[in-house]
């Protein structure tokens, strides 16, 4: 038990002292409190722990969602690639010959026989087709009455009038009278392309700088994905006249994409967390170093 005496005024020498007693267990007039600096440090630690949990949650969400998106995109890419490059069976091989048209071969012809036949007949047929196209183009430019006629209608009309004069417009032959669908002189618009699902092969004739090449459609797409120039040119020419699968890149590596997603899911939120923590600690140390002023 504590005692204290209190004397007042001039009668302090005569009056008995007044004792103030504090009983044990009673609250004092001034309770002990935590130092200000310690309170600030404790609050900052709680805030940092909260941001740590948020950063961990954000990083996990980014990682899971990124993995799902990459997986779905990779599956779609692989599916489309397999559909475009898979081997197909056709009743009759139909070969797109660049700058000529589509040649229909009998079903018993193998790829080797098709290539040998086109190597013999295609160069002269392509040259005649180019001459025929130039004649029809100039005739349409000179006579507007021919504008509404198709290439075959105009050629038949001129041949019936004077076969000798217009012999350059006669039928083009490959092999033993194989059926040929010649390319139109004027390429169709993008919305009027002829369906090209029936085309099984792509042939590019030889030239002074390159040898001839025969691709199946799947082989052509794979070769174009490998940046093979002849295949890319052939597919671009095919896409000018027919609605057919175009050159496309090979499917991306899912494992590499997942590695990039994991790196981003870790680097972005945690990098931001450590940067903000560094800024906050610098600001806190500057604020705590200020001298406390009493009112």
Instruction: Decide if 104 contacts 201 (C-beta within 8 A).
Output: no
For residue 2, the model assigns a pLDDT of 47
* 249 vs 222: CA distance, rounded Å: 8
**How many C-beta neighbours within 10 Å does residue 112 have?**
9
Instruction: Decide if 200 contacts 93 (C-beta within 8 A).
Output: yes
Give residue 267's Cα distance to chain centre: 23
**How many C-beta neighbours within 10 Å does residue 261 have?**
19
For residue 140, the model assigns a pLDDT of 87
Which DSSP string corresponds to the chain?
A: -B--EE--SGGGTTSPPEE--BPTTSPPSS-----HHHHHHHHHHHHHHHHHHHHHHHHHHHHHHHHHHHHHHHHHHHHHHHHHHS----SS-EEEETTTEEEE--TT--HHHHHHHHHHHHHHHHHHHHHHHHHHHHHHHH-GGGTTS-HHHHHHHHHHH-TTTTGGGSPP--TTT-EEEEPPSSPPPGGGPEE-TT--EEEE--BTTB--EEEEHHHHHHHHHTT-HHHHHHHHHHHHHEE-PPP-PPPPPHHHHHHHHHHHHHHHHHHHHHHHHHHHHHHHHHHHTSPP---
Task: Spell out, as residue ranges, where the chain has pLDDT lower than 70.
Answer: 1-47, 283-295
For residue 134, the model assigns a pLDDT of 92
For residue 12, the model assigns a pLDDT of 44
pTM, entire model? 0.64
Burial grade of 108 (CB within 10 A; 0-12, 13-18, 19 or more): exposed
For residue 252, the model assigns a pLDDT of 72
For residue 263, the model assigns a pLDDT of 86
């Amino acid at each position: 038990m504590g005692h204290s005496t209190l004397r007042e005024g001039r009668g302090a020498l005569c009056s008995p002292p007044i004792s103030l007693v504090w009983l044990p267990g009673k609250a004092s007039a001034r309770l002990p409190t935590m130092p200000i600096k310690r309170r600030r440090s404790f609050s900052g630690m709680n805030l940092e722990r909260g941001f740590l949990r948020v950063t961990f949650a954000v990083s996990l969400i980014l990682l899971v969602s990124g993995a799902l998106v990459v997986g779905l995109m990779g599956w779609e890419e692989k599916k489309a690639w397999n559909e475009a490059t898979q081997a197909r069976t056709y009743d009759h091989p139909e070969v797109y010959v660049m700058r000529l048209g589509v040649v229909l071969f009998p079903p018993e012809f193998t790829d080797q026989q098709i290539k040998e036949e086109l190597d013999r007949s295609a160069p002269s047929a392509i040259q005649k087709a180019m001459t025929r196209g130039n004649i029809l183009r100039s005739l349409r430019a000179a006579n507007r009455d021919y504008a509404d006629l198709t290439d075959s209608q105009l050629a038949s009309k001129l041949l019936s009038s004077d076969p000798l004069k217009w012999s350059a417009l006669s039928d083009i032959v490959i092999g033993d009278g194989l059926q040929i669908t010649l390319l139109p002189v004027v390429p169709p618009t993008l919305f009027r392309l002829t369906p090209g699902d029936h085309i099984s092969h792509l042939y590019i004739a030889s030239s002074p700088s390159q040898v001839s090449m025969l691709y199946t459609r799947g082989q052509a797409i794979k070769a174009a994905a490998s940046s093979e120039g002849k295949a890319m040119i052939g597919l671009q020419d095919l896409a000018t006249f027919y609605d057919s699968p175009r050159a496309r890149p090979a499917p991306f590596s899912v494992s590499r994409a997942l590695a990039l997603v994991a790196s981003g899911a870790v680097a972005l939120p945690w990098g931001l967390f450590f940067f903000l923590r560094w800024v906050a600690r610098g600001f806190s140390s500057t604020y705590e170093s200020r001298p406390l002023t009493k009112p």
